């Protein structure tokens, strides 16, 4: 249900030519991803950006998402299909993160003992609500926020179980939030 909602909500961007997620995704995040893609095609790690100002350390800018695993997979998938549709692949990454946010919110609400209909409604409101709908262009914000319900789920579950699994999930969710390019 959550996946169908997200696909329906973003149907024009994902399935109709001529629709794109505008502004920052297209003019800020896409050029960074394209630079990473070009570097990967050359077999290089993009450490230095020679095109901005007199050059700058690309890897040191957290907003480039260079070390964010889902972006690396997106760039690699784009490169494997010829590299011409990287922006489209980035849009899919954003939409899949919004879906992931809904799934994590559902799990969190179920852990808080909400019934299935209530958890589904809460997850729907989270994934299609004001934040994700208004921040879709800000890839780092969307990617970071997607991991937050998992972080809270991990805290609650760890408090109850004290298992290393939940501590690892908490560490991973925080790491993914930071690596996604918007540590704030």
pTM: 0.94
Please count the other Cβ atoms lying within 10 Å of the Cβ belonging to residue 95. Answer: 21
Does pLDDT of 16 surpass 90? yes
Crossing angle for the helix pair 86-111 and 69-80, nearest 10 degrees? 140
pLDDT of residue 183: 78
Closest CA to 6 of 71, 100, 111, 88: 100
User: Residue 49 phi/psi, 5° resolution?
Assistant: -100, 105
Give me the percent of the chain exceeding a pLDDT of 90. 95
Does pLDDT of 52 surpass 90? no
**Distances in whole angstroms, Cα of residue 178 to Cα of each of 84, 158, 171, 183:** 28, 21, 11, 4
**For 96-129, what is each residue's pLDDT tens digit?**
999 999 999 999 999 999 999 999 999 999 999 9
Burial class of residue 4 in the structure, from the number of CB atoms within 10 Å of its CB (0-12 exposed, 13-18 middle, 19+ buried): exposed
Q: Give the mean pLDDT of 137-160.
A: 97
pLDDT of residue 182: 86
pLDDT of residue 184: 78
Query: Residue by residue, what is the 3-state secondary structure of the chain?
Result: CHHHHHHHHCHHHHHCCCCCCCCHHHHHHHHHHHHHHHHHHCCCCCCEECCCCCCEEHHHCHHHCCCCHHHHHHHHHHHHCCCCCHHHHHHHHHHHHHHHHHHHHHHHHHHCCCCHHHHHHHHHHHHHCHHHHHHCCCHHHHHHHHCHHHHHHHHHHHHHHCCHHHHHHHHHHHHHHHHCCCCC
pLDDT of residue 158: 96
Does pLDDT of 57 surpass 90? yes
């Amino acid at each position: 249900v959550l996946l169908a909602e997200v696909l329906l909500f973003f149907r024009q961007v994902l399935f109709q030519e001529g629709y794109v997620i505008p502004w920052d995704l297209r003019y800020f995040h896409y050029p960074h991803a394209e630079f990473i893609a070009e570097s990967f095609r050359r077999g290089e790690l993009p450490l230095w950006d020679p095109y901005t100002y007199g050059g700058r350390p690309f890897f040191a800018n957290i907003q480039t998402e260079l070390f964010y695993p889902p972006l690396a997979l997106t760039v690699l998938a784009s490169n494997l299909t010829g590299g011409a549709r990287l922006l489209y692949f980035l849009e899919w990454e954003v939409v899949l993160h919004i879906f992931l946010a809904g799934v994590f919110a559902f799990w969190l609400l179920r852990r808080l003992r909400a019934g299935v209909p209530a958890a589904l409604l809460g997850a729907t409101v989270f994934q299609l609500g004001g934040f994700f709908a208004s921040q879709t262009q800000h890839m780092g914000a969307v990617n970071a926020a997607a991991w937050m319900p998992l972080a809270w789920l991990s805290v609650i579950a760890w408090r109850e179980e004290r298992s290393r699994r939940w501590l690892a999930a908490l560490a991973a969710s925080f790491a993914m939030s930071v690596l996604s390019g918007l540590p704030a």
